[in-house]
């Protein structure tokens, strides 16, 4: 009997050892796959970044300049610098950015892109580098006939076909008027002339757009603040090592004040790297 017990214990030990070995080997393989994108980028010494180049103040070309800048552009430049990488930008319309990440045409996308549960099923995101909420641009004289979000029903909202903002517009019964990769003034002009009734978008971006473009009789709706948001850098789903490296750089930037400095520079003194203090309506019934 003792001999039988000894054999059983020995067998269990062998099985346990085999289990540990295979599990360890599987983990090594997973780690290798996770690190693959990062190793590829590190070897090339270059991070290929997709962004629209038309979104003031996140990603844009200043008048008379061919150098891309903006909060998002400078955040990713600083991250790359801390990771000892060069940056190459590819300008892609907002509706094509996620597909470009998925197809590995670009390494990452940054363009004020909201982190949502639905998107996290297909992509990885860094920690947020920006916090905000959503607002409406409307005509000044009558607020485009919109007193609540429910009044969007039957209205026309200008926006990109695949954005969260357009999803919100459709949810409340608005017709979305889509555009290609155009600049802010086109959206604002159409609200002003009545082609559309509103533009739903990020509050801080809208505030800056109106400050920069003053020739239209439009404004941010004074009574409607909704859908708090977090923006992150979009990465391929399997590139977990790259996300880890970028998050480390982001945390360093947060700790040493670089992120706050960049935020205030491009957002008129507002620190968008911190959550806003405002009463903001959540749209819980909308699955994003």
Kindly state the average pLDDT of the residues 140-156.
98
Position 11 confidence tier, pLDDT thresholds 50, 70, 90: very low
Peptide bond before residue 57 is cis, with ω within 30 degrees of 0: yes
Q: Find how far residue 193's CA is from the centre of its chain.
A: 30
The rounded Cα 278 to chain-centroid distance in angstroms is: 21
Lowest-pLDDT choice from 6-20, 23-37, 46-60, 70-84? 6-20
Q: What is the mean pLDDT of the chain?
A: 88
> Could you give the domains of the chain?
41-129+232-266 (3.40.190.10), 132-228 (3.40.190.10)
Mean pLDDT across 223-247? 96
CA 174/CA 154 separation, integer angstroms: 5
Percent of the chain's residues with pLDDT above 90: 78
Residue 259's pLDDT band, with cuts at 50, 70 and 90, is very high
Instruction: Give the pLDDT band of residue 34 (cuts 50, 70, 90).
Output: low
Question: Is it the case that residue 2 has pLDDT exceeding 80?
Answer: no
**Helix residue spans in the chain (DSSP H):** 2-44, 71-82, 94-102, 117-120, 164-171, 184-193, 203-212, 240-255, 258-266
Query: Where residue 182 falls among pLDDT bands split at 50, 70, 90?
Result: confident
pLDDT of res. 66: 94
- pLDDT for 27 equals 42
Task: Please compute Rg for the chain using Cα positions.
Answer: 24
pLDDT of 277 above 60: yes
């Amino acid at each position: 009997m003792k001999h039988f017990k000894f054999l059983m214990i020995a067998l269990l030990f062998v099985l346990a050892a085999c289990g540990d070995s295979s599990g360890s080997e599987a983990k090594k393989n997973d780690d290798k796959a996770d690190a693959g994108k990062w190793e590829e980028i590190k070897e090339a010494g270059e991070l290929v970044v997709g962004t629209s180049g038309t979104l003031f103040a996140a990603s844009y070309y200043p008048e008379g300049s061919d150098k891309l800048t903006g909060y998002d552009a400078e955040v990713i430049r600083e991250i790359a610098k801390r990771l000892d990488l060069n940056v190459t930008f590819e300008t892609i319309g907002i509706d094509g950015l996620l597909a470009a990440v998925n197809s590995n045409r670009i390494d990452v996308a940054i363009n004020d892109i909201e982190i949502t549960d639905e998107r996290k099923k297909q992509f990885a995101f860094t920690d947020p580098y920006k916090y905000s909420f959503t607002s409406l641009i409307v005509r000044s004289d009558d607020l485009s006939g919109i007193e609540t979000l429910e009044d969007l029903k039957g209205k026309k909202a200008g926006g990109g076909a695949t954005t969260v903002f357009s999803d919100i517009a459709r949810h409340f019964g608005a017709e979305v008027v889509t555009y290609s990769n155009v600049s802010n003034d086109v959206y604002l002009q159409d609200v002003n002339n009545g082609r559309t009734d509103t533009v739903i978008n990020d509050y801080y971006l809208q505030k800056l757009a109106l400050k920069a473009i003053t020739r239209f009789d439009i404004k941010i709706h004074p009574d409607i603040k909704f859908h708090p948001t977090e923006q992150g850098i979009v990465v391929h789903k399997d590139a977990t090592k790259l996300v880890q490296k970028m998050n480390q750089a982001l945390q360093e930037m947060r700790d040493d004040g670089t992120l706050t400095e960049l935020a205030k520079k491009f957002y008129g003194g507002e620190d968008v790297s911190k959550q806003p203090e405002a009463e903001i309506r959540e749209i819980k019934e909308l699955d994003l």
